[in-house]
Every structure is written in C-alpha cells, then in structure tokens.
Amino acid sequence: MKVSVPLAAVAALFVSSAAFAAGPAPASATQPAATPPSSAVKPAKSHVAAIRHHAKPMADAADMTTALNLLEAQGYYGFTDFQRSGQNYTATVTQKGKTFQVTVDPRTRQVTRG
C-alpha cells in the first residue's frame, strides 16, 4: 500500500520533531512564570493526617455494611432504628414473624439479641 503525504506535512513534521528533540526552552526565553495569588497557596498537609481523615468514614461504612450483611445472613429482615452505638450497631429486626432488638459487633461478627 502506497501512502501519499503532502510535502508541507512532511516539513511540518520534521520541524516539530526537531523542536521536540531540542527540549523545552529555558524559562528566561519564555514568558515569566505565573505566581499564584497568595490565597491560592495552601499550607502543606501531612499525608498521614489526610489518610486518617479519609480512612475513618470508609472504615465506618465498611463496618455498617458488615453489620447489615450479618443480620441478613442470620435470617433477620425488616431492619428499623439501625444506628451506631460505639463500635457496635443496634437495630430492631424481624425474624420468623417476631420482632427483636439486636446488637451487632461487625469486628467480632457477633449478633446478640436483647
């Protein structure tokens, strides 16, 4: 297969590849660097603090999902008043037509009635 390329396109390609090979122009040859306004500069933030900030809500959501999955796996349904209580969750649930108060510890995976 033969491809015809206009001479102008070849010349433009050659010039742009030469410019690319030369590397970026020195900063003094280009426009001066823009300085962000002082309001846009934010203080450095510790990565550890950022991870802790985002990790807690994710851990809470994972615990909640685990608690709900445990209730469902044990045959409970009709969850109402589902809420966090310390590291546990409490809920009013139904099983075999009867309503119970339960406490779920998602970390130990235990469900306790009462």
CA dist., res. 16 & res. 25, Å (int):
14
User: Which token pair is 73?
Assistant: 């796996």
52 in a structural domain: yes
Phi, psi of 76 (to 5 degrees): -85, 150
β-strand pairing of 88-95 with 110-113: unpaired
Give the residue numbers spanning the domain of 65: 47-114
In a domain, 60, yes or no: yes
Compute the distance between CA of residue 114 and CA of residue 107 in angstroms, rounded to an integer. 19
SS3 29: helix
Q: Who wins on pLDDT, 24 or 13?
A: 24
Residue 83: which of 92, 74, 96 has the closest Cα? 92
Residue 32 lies in a domain: no
Mean per-residue pLDDT over the chain, rounded: 74
Mean pLDDT of 26-47: 56
Domain count, the chain: 1
Q: What is the mean pLDDT of residues 88-109?
A: 95
- Note the pLDDT tens digit of each residue in 46-93: 555 555 555 667 778 899 999 999 999 999 999 999 999 999 999 999
